[in-house]
Chain A
């Protein structure tokens, strides 16, 4: 006999997914957060979850809905939307919106596919809008000799 509700219905309009595409059920437990490390860190402006660092920065010359946006190589602690077809200044792309894994605040998007050859360098990279993240100091991590 089970003594609790089975699956609660998802109330969110946007379905949040993990990187591998699994739909995330709400209220399951303590969210697992990675920490990318580094000297200058970028975090979610809403809940300060660490997302990426200066080392991962590729370009600062992007624009999003809220203004300036940065392109990063690798960003952690994100959830992804369904893939969407968007026409941007630089051409047609397939993108997924990314949100903070911890608080679901919108952060930017990830390029999945670029139709034009000279835009392909963006594939797999993440745009974070400058207004939606905060920068802070990290520290030098102890790596060890071996």
Chain B
């Protein structure tokens, strides 16, 4: 016990000495090291020599300890390792700033002048110091001194004169509160001085003064990296963020179980191939369309995550090739095979027809998309029809000469995106009769969907796989390879809480894939095998609930 106390006393003695000398006096350090038998360094051993990286790590730990308030530990660490936190001149500089000793601070700054990356920064640093000094004088009520500072110190710098003018106007503020607000300043005290220090630190190279909170910054970056690498990451269910239950002690990785990868239900109600399935935008209903010319509407049970059949929409003469839910989830457009030359708009709540669009028996209306107001929609097909229609089934507008393959309406409420046979997606403004090219691919675009922000588009490109485009920059963001496509029409969709995932059907029988696209990483996860699956839909409700459909007669729900 006594020995320990003696050791501790010696420790503190050494600690205070090293503060002033900050590692410049090595002999003292080695003496300290020799007497620290308790710390595992045997008598007579010099401190271990550190590599550059090791030295940096020690410095960061020291900085962290100091930040937490463990000054003694930090000092001990520095003395024992022979490292120093900051250059002594920089340490002095910091001390002066925090104490508000402005002239000393300026002197210290002068000392550091040669160590600056860019010597001209010194002027700016001086400006910042003097600005703080001026504001503090004003708040203290020392108007004369403040004026002197402004005139004889700040102004001659000839730097940022705009700010100088602003500062001079503050002279007439009597109320400290107003002064602070007007200056955008926190007021005299540690907070503003620390903020000043943070600003000043930017001009000092890291060897002189460590960037603030460096260790914490690095660790957070590492955690971000882990999250990025996480194959099954779903940002909504992210419980492992630091500070909210996450831990540094283990690497982050989402469990596979959080992923929808088991089929919970199989729907066998259709009598022929199911060609399309779509969840309603509010996630409450599912519509499946089949070659058997019927559409079945299902209710989604949010608790059991299963669906129950609600009713069947029939009376179509041809197979159902496309379904489009209105944004308010009350209406459904049913598109049939090309030969039908018409499409039907249904009321999804009650199962009755709202209207039909049938213009000419030579028309092809194989794709449709709603406008935001759920009252107008566009439709079109490969024979060259491209119409804008209303809820009575009338054609309000028509665009000539476009063989439409797939449609979507942008969030701006007026741009209609249409993919055509020239392997491109163009944006059309029916009102202004203007159109422009957005995406040009080299192969046929079989289908495409927009994410909920309307910024990204997911394209199924024949023989190329799935392409993710940024519509704002018109750049290809990512290609998802490994999905052979070209023979059958395949759909893909965004899924997950933050559109973290995309999922796509594939022509390889017995396979459907989830792919994670989290920032820089795209991991293909072959999650489950499903018969002849060629397309998917998604529900917008968490947890991620994806309905997939297969192209034989069954629909699988995951």
Contact = CB atoms under 8 A, between A and B. Distances in A.
Interface stretch (A31-39, A57-65, A121-129): A31-39
Which of under 10, 10 to 19, 20 to 34, or 35 or more describes the interface residues of A?
Answer: 20 to 34
B532 to A, nearest CB: 5
B399 A142 contact: yes
A89 interface: no
* Residue among A4, A5, A30, A32 with most chain B CB within 10 A: A30
Interface string B421-450: 110001000000001110000001010000
B554 A31 contact: no
Given A20-B463, A37-B422, A144-B426, A28 B401 contact: no
Interface stretch (B58-66, B182-190, B484-492): B484-492
B554 A3 contact: yes
Which DSSP category, helix, strand, loop or mixed, fits chain B's interface? loop
A143 interface: yes
Given A5-B552, A139-B384, A28 B534 contact: yes
Given A3-B266, A25-B532, A30-B489, 4 more contacts: A1-B263, A30-B273, A32-B462, A144-B436
A6 B486 contact: no
Contacts of A25: 507, 509, 532
Interface of B: 263, 266, 268, 273, 275, 291, 319, 321, 382, 384, 399-403, 421-422, 426, 435-437, 444, 446, 462-463, 484-490, 507, 509-510, 529-532, 534-535, 550-554
Contacts of A142: 399-402, 435
A27 interface: yes
Nearest to A22: B484
A67 interface: no
A30 B275 contact: yes
Nearest to B553: A4
A4 B533 CA distance: 12
Which DSSP category, helix, strand, loop or mixed, fits chain A's interface? loop
Contacts of B485: 32
A119 interface: no
Contact of A18 (B275, B487, B510, B534): B487
Contact of A139 (B401, B488, B535): B401
A7 B436 CA distance: 44
A33 B338 CA distance: 12
22 contacts: A2-B530, A2-B531, A4-B531, A5-B531, A6-B531, A7-B509, A22-B487, A28-B488, A29-B490, A30-B291, A32-B446, A32-B486, A32-B488, A32-B489, A33-B382, A34-B421, A37-B422, A101-B487, A141-B402, A141-B421, A142-B400, A144-B437
